[in-house]
Amino acid sequence: MAADEADDYKPWEEPGEFRRDCVSHRGPLLARLVWFSYMCCIAAFCFAVPAVVGILLAVTVIIMAGRDLREMGAGRMDPRGEGQTEDALHGAVGSLLFNGLVAALAILIISVAVLNFH
């Protein structure tokens, strides 16, 4: 009976532990994508098009981070990246708002310029 109990022991079920064969977290990747999204926002002040790229990057990070946090909660992804992933999620929401604001401002400026031109 003791051999059966030894075979059933799962160390990853202990508090604070996780499976060593789970998927590694993508915290650094998500942080870089958020950084690029913010850079697109800055570039959008000169050219309006990067705001669209920044919005797409921010939405991508929001989706990826949400999925990663669910996987970490289920124990299928390395939980050591939870802090980085949450930071990336919050940064992506901020970037989405800033890029959206810059895109709306660019549309407003272009609309006023077109209306005043005619």
Q: In the predicted model, what is the mean pLDDT of the chain? A: 86
- Rounded to 5°, the CA angle 54-60-65 comes to 125
Task: Note every long-range contact of 70-73, with CB atoms under 8 Å and residues 24 or more positions apart, other chains counting.
Answer: 71/23, 72/25
Domain assignments of the chain as residue spans, ordered by start = 2-117
Amino acid at 118: H
| Exposure class string for 35-50: b at 16+ Cβ within 10 A, else e | ebbbebbebbeeebeb
pTM of the model: 0.79
What is the tally of helices (H) and strands (E) in the chain?
4, 0
The pLDDT of residue 1 is 44
User: CB under 8 Å to 74, separation ≥6 — which residues?
Assistant: none
User: Which of the two residues, 112 and 15, has the higher pLDDT score?
Assistant: 112
Question: How confident is the model over 75-95, as pLDDT tens digits?
Answer: 888 888 899 999 999 999 999
Reading the block at residue 98, the tokens are: 């800033």
For residue 25, give Cα distances in angstroms to 67, 70, 72, 92. Answer: 11, 12, 8, 17
8 pLDDT band, cuts 50/70/90, is confident
Return the DSSP state at 24: P
Q: Is the pLDDT of residue 7 over 80?
A: no
